[in-house]
Amino acid sequence: MKFFSSSHLAYLLLPFTVIAGVQAVVNDVKQVAIIGAGAAGSSTAYHLRKYAEEEGANVNITIFEKTSHIGGRTLTVDVYDDPLNPVELGASIFVEVNHILYGASKEFNLPLKNPGADEDGLLGIWDGTKFVYIQDSKSWGWWNIAKLLWKYGSAPYYTHRLVQETVATFLKLYEAPYFPFRSLSTRAYELGLVGTTGSTGEQFLEANKLNGPFAHDIVQASTRVNYASNLAYIHGLGTMVAMAPEGAMAVAGGNWQIFSRMVEKSQAYVSLNSTVSSIDKEKSGEGSDATKYKIQTLTTDSVDTEGETHPVAFDTVVIATPYQFSGISHNDNVIPHPVDSIPYVKLHVTLFASPFRFSPAFFNLEPASEVPISVLTTLGPNDKAKSGPEGVGSAGFFSATLVKVVTNPKTQNTEYVYKIFSPDKVTPKFLSRLLGVQVPDTFTRSSSVSIDGDEGWTIVDPISWYHPTVFHPYPQKLPRVTFQDPILGDGLYYTSGIESFISTMETSALMGKNVARLIADDFFQAAQTVNFVDEMGEL
């Protein structure tokens, strides 16, 4: 992996350069641009390099990334700016059945860990008024737990079985004859998944006679924490995937390392802080009908509005970022048909550190009651299922979880790092209620709260560290039966169409792998055609 700025482009020009009087051979070198270094873009680069090496093909890969990091929405934040205390801000987990991520983590010898909190405690489902379910974390699982069976009957078992059947069908996309695919809509139909994506989670569970208290309490809590959606506003496949975290794991230090290593392995040239502003077509040479793509870029956050034309023309371009957020301009001949624009969820992710635990009073519990350290939410008895921010209901948030126990570097006292998912910005008033202590309007300003330590009374901050972020992490998974195809034009590919089908790190990586296979097949087929024509001309 090589990083460069606009002043370090000589590497890319090597295939076109005469060195020591020897003309470089360029005809068999394919130039590929990938826009976005998230899960999909990194996977595209990684798998394209593998396929090219298998076929003995020459490929130069260039990645343009508008941010300063690789991994896209997969990133960590260092608590107290201490790199020894990273916390996942975006995508937090993957599972063993995620073949690409799990396989890559093993290939790169990345250390894996249980993504749970640093300490044991209760996990609860709260409806805004009361906890409808509480489970000790030591024996926690969505199924095969006596308490679940006692409360919900056989629904946990049959829901688990339905999840396994649905996921098993989806996993066929990894293998021939379903892989690779030029049309996701066609594959969804062939696999019989359009019935699942074409109905709401509520309807899908009802059709399987599973839309009862377990669906309302447990399944809906899962769709809310994973996709910020109630069962009436998420399709059936999204519902099943939200319930499939069996064997969850994470890379110690951050899942972004998987994608960083993929990019490194791809030998791609990487341009960080580089926003692609436009894509145009040009003839590849006089007398040729073939076209190449010219890309213009801007330095991210630069006041300069004039894009700089990249000196290398590309045979293939992969847009590995949601098109509607890319800001890429182009002529109609570049993308002849509209790219599907889908609504994305706006999610507030709030991380903060505090010496205080969740207050029993916030959850209407008796004083001194043990409060769950991980709280998921569902709709209350008087809440109506809605989409968007109003869908959060009386709970007011989707989840609030203790994710890490740390030592405050200033006080040397133990503190707790919490993560909250919510549709709106978390306020000091909300945190004051949640912690049972007055939080200042500035969140981290010192207050007059005191605790009785070993050496007497000590002044402490209710919140010692605070990091809010706003994401558009995934689309609203409303029911649908057609999906944006990965081919936008001749030599132009797109990865984000899979996100309305299902949106995870793994599925983005799968689409990246799929696009890489399509590119490789198109390259090799074209090369075989040229060789055949040449041979015929010699006869």
Q: Mean pLDDT across the stretch 235-245?
A: 93
pLDDT value at 18 more than 90: no
**Tokens, residue 146:** 């006596």
pLDDT value at 19 more than 80: no
- Among the residue ranges 103-112, 256-265, 275-284, 419-428, the one predicted with the least confidence is 275-284
* Cα–Cα dist 326/274, whole Å: 12
CB 141 within 8 A of CB 218: no
Grouping H, G, I as helix, E, B as strand and the rest as coil, residue 391 is helix
pLDDT value at 527 more than 70: no
Q: For position 457, what pLDDT does the model report? A: 52
* CA neighbor of 180 nearest in space, from 500, 517, 490, 520: 517
H or E, element range at 496: none
Q: Mean pLDDT across the stretch 273-288?
A: 84
Q: For position 534, what pLDDT does the model report? A: 46
**Tokens, residue 38:** 């998230």
Contacts of 274 (CB under 8 A, 6+ apart): 64, 65, 66, 297, 298, 299, 300
CB 296 within 8 A of CB 309: yes
Provide the pLDDT confidence category of residue 146 given band limits of 50, 70 and 90.
Answer: confident
Read off the pLDDT of residues 314-365 as tens digits, 9 standing for 90 and up.
Answer: 999 999 999 999 999 998 899 999 999 999 999 999 999 999 999 999 999 9
Read off the pLDDT of residues 369-419 as tens digits, 9 standing for 90 and up.
Answer: 999 999 999 999 999 999 989 999 999 999 999 999 999 999 999 999 999
Residue 222 one-letter amino acid: S
pLDDT value at 143 more than 70: no
Q: For position 307, what pLDDT does the model report? A: 81
The residue with greater pLDDT, 10 or 318, is 318
Q: For position 1, what pLDDT does the model report? A: 54
- Among the residue ranges 92-101, 308-317, 352-361, the one predicted with the least confidence is 92-101
The residue with greater pLDDT, 460 or 282, is 282
* CA neighbor of 496 nearest in space, from 30, 31, 33, 43: 43
* Cα–Cα dist 523/216, whole Å: 50
Read off the pLDDT of residues 450-468 as tens digits, 9 standing for 90 and up.
Answer: 555 544 455 678 999 999 9
- Among the residue ranges 284-288, 357-361, 406-410, 472-476, the one predicted with the least confidence is 284-288
Q: For position 247, what pLDDT does the model report? A: 81
Residues in the chain: 539
CB 518 within 8 A of CB 316: no
The residue with greater pLDDT, 236 or 7, is 236
Bridge partner residues of 416 (DSSP): 354, 405
**Tokens, residue 354:** 């505090």
Q: For position 96, what pLDDT does the model report? A: 86
pLDDT value at 444 more than 80: yes
Provide the pLDDT confidence category of residue 523 given band limits of 50, 70 and 90.
Answer: confident
> What share of the chain has pLDDT > 90, as a percent?
75
Contacts of 422 (CB under 8 A, 6+ apart): 347, 348, 350, 392, 396, 397, 398
* Cα–Cα dist 386/377, whole Å: 15
Read off the pLDDT of residues 21-52 as tens digits, 9 standing for 90 and up.
Answer: 223 334 579 999 999 999 999 999 999 999 99
Contacts of 47 (CB under 8 A, 6+ apart): 512, 513, 516, 517
Cα dist. 487→69, 220, 267, 339, 399 in Å?
27, 34, 24, 10, 37
Q: For position 20, what pLDDT does the model report? A: 28
Provide the pLDDT confidence category of residue 447 given band limits of 50, 70 and 90.
Answer: very low
Bridge partner residues of 278 (DSSP): 296, 329
pLDDT value at 17 more than 70: no
How many C-beta atoms surround the C-beta of residue 392 within 10 A?
Answer: 22
For the chain, what is the radius of gyration of the CA atoms? 26
Provide the pLDDT confidence category of residue 311 given band limits of 50, 70 and 90.
Answer: very high
Q: For position 268, what pLDDT does the model report? A: 97
Q: Mean pLDDT across the stretch 471-492?
A: 95
Provide the pLDDT confidence category of residue 286 given band limits of 50, 70 and 90.
Answer: low
CB 342 within 8 A of CB 462: no
Give the burial string for 69-97 (b: 16+ CB within 10 Å, else e): bbbbbbbbbebbeeeebbbbbbbbbbbeb
* CA neighbor of 330 nearest in space, from 473, 494, 486, 482: 494
